[in-house]
Amino acid sequence: MGARKQVDAPPAEFAEAVTQLRGARFRPEVFVEEMPAPQRIAPHAAAVSADVTVDGDDLATGRLVILYDPDGNDAWQSTFRCVAYVRAAVEPEMVTDALLGGVGWTWLMEALADRGADFQAPSGTVTRVVSESFGGMADDDATAEIEIRASWSPVPGPGGLVDVTRHAEAWGEVLCTAAGLPPVPPGVVAMPTRRGQRGR
């Protein structure tokens, strides 16, 4: 039985990344919980989902997946890869702004830079979606959303270790920006997320 546990034990680098992911700190409006990770993309994976909620209203949702392949991946240019998704409601008139896609991508790039999360090989899409109602639902207002799908490879820091915490917190910052929350003033530290406690 002991030999079986030894075989199944995740690599130390991935185990440390999971610990860092669980230790990431987010704003109180961000509710984060672990979720099943995809199993076929990489030998090892961990994932979390999040909702940004203010006064009972869900303003944005997303998920973050950390992939690890100890043999490396040429497309990643690394052994680690972050895969992120963010969706938030926006005003319908914003969807017609041709610059919105670039703005959404800039949110991610700036959040990573602000957190000091060094990365390489970024890739992704920003999608604008408008929903209009007809027939029996014709009285419903049009709704619009922005969706950001992105991936990037964290660059190891001193000692060759990847600081997943910085990348996770950058993703959390993008969620809040997409939700329309004002930035946290300099010097103000976000409180740890109360996982499993909504409505507080």
Inter-residue contact 130 to 142 (CB < 8 Å): yes
Q: What is the pLDDT of residues 62-92, one digit of tens each?
A: 999 999 999 989 999 999 999 999 999 887 6
Tens digit of each residue's pLDDT (9 = 90 or more) over 108-139: 999 999 999 999 999 999 988 877 667 677 66
Category of 72 on φ-ψ map: left (φ > 0), alpha (ψ -120 to 50) or beta: left
Query: Between the CA of residue 161 and those of 134, 186, 189, what are the distances in Å?
Result: 54, 27, 24
Q: Is 132 domain-assigned?
A: yes
8 — pLDDT class (breaks 50, 70, 90): low
Quote the domain boundaries for residue 16: 12-179
pLDDT at 159: 74
> Is there a domain that residue 36 lies in?
yes
Could you tell me if residue 192 is inside a domain? no
User: Does 186 reside within a domain?
Assistant: no
Residue 110 lies in a domain: yes
Domain membership of residue 199 (yes or no) is no
- So what's the pLDDT on residue 135? 67
> How many domains in the chain?
1
**Does the residue 74 lie in any domain?**
yes
> What rounded mean pLDDT belongs to the chain?
84
Of 8-22, 51-65, 138-152, minimum mean pLDDT range: 138-152
Report whether 119 contacts 53 (CB < 8 A): no
